[in-house]
């Protein structure tokens, strides 16, 4: 008698969107946004609630950490797409982080210039200069 053997699978544990959002310190809306942008997939739980498996949770931990330091979603997408090529992924991540760091350093330099301007005796001209510098800061 021939019997088919099927491997046993452990049930997949899914984390609800609300629980995961609390765990990651973000809003459910942020998680939906990442999914809408194609960065992660979810499953549907009862009541049509989104649920995330262990792989998705790990990806969302990475995504939220990278967003917290200012990486744009396009850069995060490039990094995630290289997950099967660890060296290329590390290179892409270094490049993206370096770009954010350059931007932040430029912002710090502009902030320091503005602080210097406000240290001078207050005058209408000095204030106008700071306001003009602030507009370019945004």
Instruction: Give the model confidence (pLDDT) of 114-128 as tens digits.
Output: 888 877 666 566 666
Confidence of residue 99 (pLDDT cuts 50, 70, 90): very high
Determine the average pLDDT of the residues in 13-26: 93
Nearest to 17 by CA among 35, 1, 3: 35
The pairs formed by 38-42 with CB atoms below 8 angstroms and a separation of 24 or more are: 38/77, 39/63, 39/73, 39/76, 39/77, 39/80, 42/17
**How much is the pTM?**
0.74
Query: CA–CA separation, 75 vs 87, rounded Å?
Result: 16
Determine the average pLDDT of the residues in 99-106: 96
pLDDT attached to residue 130: 64
pLDDT attached to residue 8: 55
């Amino acid at each position: 008698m021939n019997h088919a053997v099927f491997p046993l699978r452990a049930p997949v544990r899914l984390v609800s969107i609300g629980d995961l959002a609390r765990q990651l310190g973000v809003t459910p809306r942020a998680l939906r946004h990442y999914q809408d942008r194609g960065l992660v997939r979810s499953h549907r739980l009862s009541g049509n609630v989104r649920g995330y498996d262990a792989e998705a949770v790990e990806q969302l931990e990475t995504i939220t950490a990278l967003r917290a330091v200012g990486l744009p979603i396009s850069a995060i997408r490039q990094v995630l797409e290289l997950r099967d090529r660890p060296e290329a992924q590390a290179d892409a991540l270094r490049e993206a982080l370096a770009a954010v760091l350059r931007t932040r350093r430029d912002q710090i330099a502009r902030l320091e210039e503005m602080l210097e301007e406000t240290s001078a005796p207050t005058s209408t001209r000095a204030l106008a200069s700071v306001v003009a510098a602030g507009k370019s800061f945004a």
